[in-house]
Structure 1
């Protein structure tokens, strides 16, 4: 692994040969973290390498180096784009360079060596300070280390001991090297893979963010169009779709290339994306409308998998102001595909393979009238509801909630209709509560995993839950509307045995009802 001195890094960034591509996020480190980086450099601790991509072709869209606007590079020389290590590079450049004025006032780059700090291996001897907090007798501005004139002026008032110490500190920084790994290629697919692997945070296709930076020209601001789409979807509770860049880019690739892979997105023609963006918007809006009207989905958080929107958007993508007119048979196929995908955990593994198959089948369903989109193996048994705990972020819980929502449930106390749009848009744990109260079951010695099983939950407001209290169902039944109770149970897929205070019997009978409903949703018709 090669290394660059701090002086070399400053010179290359100042000349514009080291640059930040637009697909990188902005500078996010705070002053304390920058100061700790300086301490690590001083003490010789490992602080990570820079990964640079060397290319002769300048990207159309770039990002500033933190608050610093870099000059144009000499076109006769290659450019080194930062694929990893941007936060460290920006920190080092911001602290030590003295040639470029920042576009905005920042405090994080004013780092000082603290003469009074203990030379402890753990604690930092460097601190970022605002001007009014600086004590010249105690704090030395390390930003002068690579500027001879500024350093000489900053050391004029120091006594022999402090001068000797700060000279040693300066020497450590002048001798320090920053580890650098470099790839030299004009193959953007290779760059995409490198970027994805060094930035992977458990979300597949992060590389799509990178690819968007070079697929579209500056004449067409994709992010701005996505922001507009988010605003269009906000009244319907789906603004998160417009704010999820990865999801939207998948939809773009699905609609234009019928392929959601990174390689397909690389191959997209920027002009075609601009020309067909109305088609992309129609596809996404059509998918949202279908989910709301046919499945009572009121927000992206309701979906067991956000990626279910991708294939749906490919089905509903049409040019101009036209809309897809689908038959009842096509609607039923899409619904079976949706439920089978949820109950089979289709997008928990083999995501790209399954997504591309579903995209192809969705397009076939639209263009040919029928397809095999719903031919997915899926099965449901009582264990699904008996052995999985209620947690709003899990696939099983979101599937369970949507299953209940298909019955248009009633308020458990009054029997009045639940406003599903409001409840599901503000999707959180407070709208779902135990049918057998937790406190009651704890007194019976029931294990926590059984108390919190899916089978023991229903739509119920916090106020209704308080009204019922932590008592046996046979007791809280007295607070419920007598005439409405049978309908409440029916709409909640609950057996009458709820009020027999036999939790095991109730659990098995309710699980059977839930399984029956699930099988109805995934069954061939």
Structure 2
């Protein structure tokens, strides 16, 4: 890293020559005019106003942005290029206030900044104003856009008296003498640039790595942003629009597929051609993972997943180029599903996600290549306690795991006995579709605690309309609203409800239902993975 102070004149000349540029991954100019005026006041009063960070390289990016509302001229071929990594708002403000050579590309609402000659020299109040033409009082407001043009400056000061001119000369002198602190990062390593850009943005708006990667990969026949938009449209058809909106998750899948590590920055180690050629494989991997989750695991939306990162190893498994399908036998299927359920019940993806994902990716590649794989070979024990101590909450990973467990037993509506429309219910995914087997109001009336009332073992798929029919009734009473005989037994079986459900003994019911739930969970995570 090198430190190079620039004068404002040097900044203006560098921008006008095309050597300072804005990379595509930068955001646009968002400052309000008051912010610009306050920056001018800080520069004038010698207050600290922050440094700029440039990335110096000899490689011009395929996609760039304008500097504010100015189209930048092409750089000279023998000059290095300085891309702005930090301080874009300040640089754009300084250039837009003082430049006189370029014309803005559109009517952008920019207001000229003026020095208020009648304002008191106050350490707190700004002496600079952003004014519309009809607000300008020529005898009072002096335009800053003439300070670096000697001819225009002489013309603008002609109407003022000697005392005012001395004050304006001092104003011009301050802006001409100021040094803008510049840090220069000299590298052609794009991964380094990505890391630096991420860290300087971490406390502000999160880094949009997708924008950064799109700059590396673009050509006339491939636009990564457009490819992501098309993938999002495909995912919407499956009910997984949230995945298409989560660019970071997609990039982690892509990095896992192409670099065997779920870190988006690793993609920047590839050249544009490699990313372009591999994108169909990435797309197929993500779509394959979602198809597997929908059909084999009863997952209807990203919000159903206890941990979103579970998509990543599955995307690696299903990633193949166009025209090639992934085939697998029952042993591979068992290993994938057991790995999924064990990961959910143990909460492996709740911490050290990167390390866990890397390990699983490694084993998935082995599984995919027909090698001996230890995917899912970690300790997992689920017993009745899991369903008693965990509280039902949609934000909780254990609740999401519990709901998926219920969904994989083909649940029936508690009163009518009709099959639950899992796609509709799980995509909707709110409390109106889940209610207590032993009604909450009934249990509260009988002095049970909230923790026992809301434990997982007392929840089931139950629509609001059916729940209203149950109301405050105890199970032995609402039993009269249910079918009888084999239909009743089928409802109970598919809802993990024991035969003692209607004995009105809540504690005994929790014990017996928890056992049934644990038996099914153990079937999902069975210990013998071959």
Other structure's SS at 1:81 match: strand
Q: Name the structure 1 match of 2:76.
A: 74
Equivalences for residues 254-273 of structure 1 within 5 A: 254-261=256-263, 264-273=266-275
Q: Name the structure 1 match of 2:520.
A: 517
| Aligned mate of 1:13, from 5, 12, 15 | 15
Contact 1:94 1:109 in 2 (8 A): no
Contact 2:191 2:269 in 1 (8 A): no
After TM superposition, give the deviation of residue 215 of structure 1 in Å: 4.7
Q: Name the structure 1 match of 2:300.
A: 298
Q: Name the structure 2 match of 1:492.
A: 495
- 1:219-270, CA deviations, whole angstroms, 9 ceiling, x for partnerless residues? 4212212211221222111233333333333333333343434574233343
After TM superposition, give the deviation of residue 291 of structure 1 in Å: 0.9
Contact 1:200 1:206 in 2 (8 A): no
After TM superposition, give the deviation of residue 78 of structure 1 in Å: 1.9
After TM superposition, give the deviation of residue 290 of structure 1 in Å: 0.7
Contact 2:476 2:503 in 1 (8 A): no
Contact 1:20 1:64 in 2 (8 A): yes
Contact 2:438 2:475 in 1 (8 A): no
Other structure's SS at 1:368 match: coil
- 1:315-341, CA deviations, whole angstroms, 9 ceiling, x for partnerless residues? 112233231122122111111111122
Other structure's SS at 2:426 match: helix
Q: Name the structure 2 match of 1:339.
A: 341
Distance in 2, matches of 1:460 and 1:119, equals 70
Contact 1:107 1:130 in 2 (8 A): no
| Aligned mate of 1:62, from 45, 60, 64 | 64
Q: 1:44 to 1:512 in 2, by over 3 A?
A: farther
Q: 1:43 to 1:443 in 2, by over 3 A?
A: farther
Distance in 1, matches of 2:210 and 2:384, equals 39
Distance in 2, matches of 1:393 and 1:156, equals 69
After TM superposition, give the deviation of residue 72 of structure 1 in Å: 1.7
Is 1:25 equivalent to 2:32 in the alignment?
no
| Aligned mate of 2:375, from 373, 376, 379 | 373
- Give the greater-gyration-radius structure (CA): 2
Other structure's SS at 2:308 match: coil
Q: Give the root-mean-square deviation of aligned CA atoms.
A: 4.3
Q: Which moves more between the two structures, 221-230 or 449-458?
A: 449-458
Distance in 2, matches of 1:359 and 1:203, equals 30
Q: Name the structure 1 match of 2:244.
A: 242
Q: Name the structure 2 match of 1:481.
A: 482
Q: Name the structure 2 match of 1:407.
A: 409
After TM superposition, give the deviation of residue 23 of structure 1 in Å: 2.5
Q: 1:15 to 1:375 in 2, by over 3 A?
A: same
Distance in 2, matches of 1:118 and 1:449, equals 65
Contact 2:7 2:179 in 1 (8 A): yes
Q: Which moves more between the two structures, 280-289 or 393-402?
A: 393-402
Unaligned 5+ segments in structure 1 are none
Equivalences for residues 411-426 of structure 1 within 5 A: 411-426=413-428
Q: 1:524 to 1:56 in 2, by over 3 A?
A: same
- 1:366-391, CA deviations, whole angstroms, 9 ceiling, x for partnerless residues? 22176222223333345544444444
After TM superposition, give the deviation of residue 307 of structure 1 in Å: 2.4
Distance in 2, matches of 1:156 and 1:53, equals 43
Contact 1:107 1:128 in 2 (8 A): no
| Aligned mate of 1:233, from 232, 235, 239 | 235
After TM superposition, give the deviation of residue 60 of structure 1 in Å: 2.5
After TM superposition, give the deviation of residue 513 of structure 1 in Å: 3.8
Q: Name the structure 2 match of 1:322.
A: 324
After TM superposition, give the deviation of residue 45 of structure 1 in Å: 5.7
What is the TM-score when the length of structure 1 is the normalising length?
Answer: 0.81
Q: Name the structure 2 match of 1:102.
A: 104
Distance in 2, matches of 1:198 and 1:94, equals 24
What is the TM-score when the length of structure 2 is the normalising length?
Answer: 0.80
Q: Which moves more between the two structures, 449-458 or 226-235?
A: 449-458
After TM superposition, give the deviation of residue 167 of structure 1 in Å: 8.0
After TM superposition, give the deviation of residue 35 of structure 1 in Å: 5.7
Q: 1:202 to 1:137 in 2, by over 3 A?
A: closer
Contact 1:34 1:108 in 2 (8 A): no
Distance in 2, matches of 1:286 and 1:246, equals 18
Distance in 2, matches of 1:515 and 1:171, equals 79
After TM superposition, give the deviation of residue 392 of structure 1 in Å: 3.0
After TM superposition, give the deviation of residue 308 of structure 1 in Å: 2.0
Contact 1:413 1:464 in 2 (8 A): yes
Equivalences for residues 70-469 of structure 1 within 5 A: 70-107=72-109, 134=135, 136=137, 144=145, 146=147, 148=149, 177-200=179-202, 210-215=212-217, 217=219, 219-261=221-263, 264-368=266-370, 371-382=373-384, 384-435=386-437, 452-469=454-471
Q: 1:357 to 1:135 in 2, by over 3 A?
A: same
Distance in 2, matches of 1:117 and 1:291, equals 67
Q: Number of matched residues?
A: 523
After TM superposition, give the deviation of residue 443 of structure 1 in Å: 6.1
- 1:443-483, CA deviations, whole angstroms, 9 ceiling, x for partnerless residues? 666665655554454334444445544x3544983684344
Other structure's SS at 1:80 match: strand
Other structure's SS at 1:273 match: helix
After TM superposition, give the deviation of residue 15 of structure 1 in Å: 2.6
After TM superposition, give the deviation of residue 492 of structure 1 in Å: 3.5
After TM superposition, give the deviation of residue 176 of structure 1 in Å: 5.4
Q: Which moves more between the two structures, 183-192 or 455-464?
A: 455-464
